[in-house]
Structure 1
Amino acid sequence: MKEFLSRENTSLTVSVIIAALFAVAGIGLGLWMDSLMILFDGAYSLISLVLSMLALYVARLVRQPGNRHFPFGYAALEPLVIAVKGVTITLLCLVSLASALHALLTGGSQIDLDIAIAFTMIGLIACFSCTVYLRWSLARNESGLVAADFEQWRMDTVLSVAILLGFAAAYALERTAWADWAVYADPAMVALVAGYFIWVPLRMTSAAVRELVLAAPLAAMREEVLQATSDLGLSPEAVRMTKVGPYLVLELLVTPSEHTMPGSPALRALSASGPHRGPPGGADAGQFGRGW
């Protein structure tokens, strides 16, 4: 567990540092060059910075045990932060899309493409490096917060590729007979990228909201749990489950019998599978929580 927490905190800290550098550089350069695309990239990094710092704080809270005010711990904070992150990025995409459409309808924008291409190439290398590192971290210890950051940086990497290709196309266009159309390249890229990537935060938000409303976990996880409980003689109808943050919560409905007696084989097996909570619902209900 200590190794997991250390890797999670390190991954989120790396994400925060890189996002801070991009936020300052992107917003500053975007305003100076009057480039909607670079400004969009910087604003995205700023949002990533604020939300990654929040995720870093929540990652510590989630692992703390319950107390008098939060008897079941802080597990619900993880999907809540992911939902806020998804909604915020969605709003950024919508505002950027509206700004890009306005620029397209009012004559486009002229930018220094040499500086823009150089900045985008540096950004692409940094985004790709961060994405690879977070993917490596996820492969060793799954974390919802790190997974959300990984999705952000993966989105930013693809975004940087699209920006670089767009700026390169505009650079080439300036040296042709259609040079007047180059001013539309910057807002056109923002419109295309924002319109396409808006589905990423929407999916992120949907998954987080499912956890907040205590929906059933994914099918693969349900099948694994039902297989484990069936080995203990429990029917699928007697098992209800939900996933909240890093924890899987089970509610087992059993009839008063040797299964509910202290020291019974079934209870010993379930207790060995993870931290035990309950039974809050009386003799015919048991609840168990475990990290997943």
Structure 2
Amino acid sequence: MRTEQAVLRISIVMTFLLAAFGVLYGLFIGSGSIIFDGIYSLMDASMTLVALLVSKLITASLGENTRAKLVKHFTMGFWHLEPMVLALSGVLLMGTALTAFIGAVGSLLHNGHEVEFGRAMIFAVIQLAVAVTMIVFTRRANRQIGSNFIELDSKAWMISAALTGALLIAFIFGWAIRGTSYDWMTPYVDPAVLAVVCLFVIPMPISTVVQALSDILLVTPADMKNHVDEVAARIVSRYGFLTYRAYVARVGRGKQIELYFIVPQGEPPRRLEEWDRIRDDIGHEIGDEGPDRWLTIAFTTDLDWAE
């Protein structure tokens, strides 16, 4: 699994299978927490599918065969879709958990409900084993790929594993107290653990949503801006320019950089090849050259063109 799309495909298939199994099995044994686990997985799989489509669009826009058709309608590329998907995915996952929490509290206030804990434990063991396997798989694959989509997907599997682990502990507890003096607690086990798990799940996607919103709003990354400023300052000093203006943004995996250098009026003319060589030097010093870097470099004697 060396590509983002291949990893996401495997994750989507596994998530859809577990989601369907969870919802049906939860309905069969009457467990609201298992039903939530399935719905949460289904939501996650749907957003991972959207992420895969965006990944394919970004990759296809860089290919020679499809580039002409895509660029005709999307001349600025598809980077802007990535943070939108990440933000939407995080918000939906939090919304799903919040809805389930409200339902769990309502069930607790209405004397809970009975669950077949023996069968519930079987589901939890299977789900936990698959989730742990997928965590190892996605994290190992992403060490070389470095994808935000895979990182979010790995977090979703971690959430699923944590949720399932909590369910397994709760089901074991509920099964153990059957027929004891604590038997009156069994109707409350399922909704109680669901409420606790939801409180744990709700804040987990927040960092991803905040980063995605920063990309959507074109908030300038401080580290990226400092690096570009350092390079631009050296270029100004090296070639005797007056000053510069730098505009930097990160949009998903894309880095957008615009640099304007203010040249003194009356400077001796330079051949276009020399200006291109200066651009090459700037691009080399900035680094990260590749399909995900959008670099614009302009030279002018009028500061108004740069502001």
Measured at CA, do residues 271 and 26 of structure 1 come closer, stay the same or move farther in structure 2, by a change above 3 Å? same
TM-fit CA distance, 1:280: 8.7
Match of 2:15 in 1: 19
TM-fit CA distance, 1:102: 0.7
* 1:21-47 C-alpha deviation (Å, 9 max, x unpaired): 111100001111221110010001111
Superposed CA RMSD in Å reads 2.8
The yes-or-no answer on 1:55 pairing with 2:54 is: no
One-letter identity of the residue aligned with 1:48: D
Which of 37, 43, 63 pairs up with 2:39?
43
The yes-or-no answer on 1:245 pairing with 2:252 is: yes
Q: Which moved more, 1:255-264 or 1:33-42?
A: 255-264
Normalising by structure 2, what TM-score?
A: 0.82
Match of 1:159 in 2: 163
TM-fit CA distance, 1:203: 2.5
Match of 1:128 in 2: 132
* 1:218-239 C-alpha deviation (Å, 9 max, x unpaired): x554555555555545899843
- Partners of 1:36 and 1:281 lie apart in 2 by 60
| Identical positions, percent | 25
SS for the counterpart of 1:240 is strand
- Partners of 2:159 and 2:223 lie apart in 1 by 26
The yes-or-no answer on 1:119 pairing with 2:123 is: yes
The yes-or-no answer on 1:271 pairing with 2:283 is: yes
Measured at CA, do residues 249 and 185 of structure 1 come closer, stay the same or move farther in structure 2, by a change above 3 Å? same
Which of 31, 34, 48 pairs up with 2:27?
31
Q: Which moved more, 1:137-146 or 1:261-270?
A: 261-270
Extract unaligned runs of 5+ from structure 1: 287-292
Maintained 8 Å contact 1:226/1:236: no
Q: Which moved more, 1:95-104 or 1:273-282?
A: 273-282
TM-fit CA distance, 1:73: 0.5
Maintained 8 Å contact 1:260/1:267: no
One-letter identity of the residue aligned with 2:33: M
Which structure: larger Rg?
Answer: 2
Runs of 4 or more above 6 Å deviation: 234-237, 258-261
Q: Which moved more, 1:151-160 or 1:223-232?
A: 223-232
TM-fit CA distance, 1:260: 11
The aligned runs of 1:139-158 (5 Å cut-off) are 139-158=143-162
TM-fit CA distance, 1:112: 0.7
- Partners of 1:223 and 1:134 lie apart in 2 by 32
SS for the counterpart of 2:255 is strand
Measured at CA, do residues 129 and 253 of structure 1 come closer, stay the same or move farther in structure 2, by a change above 3 Å? same
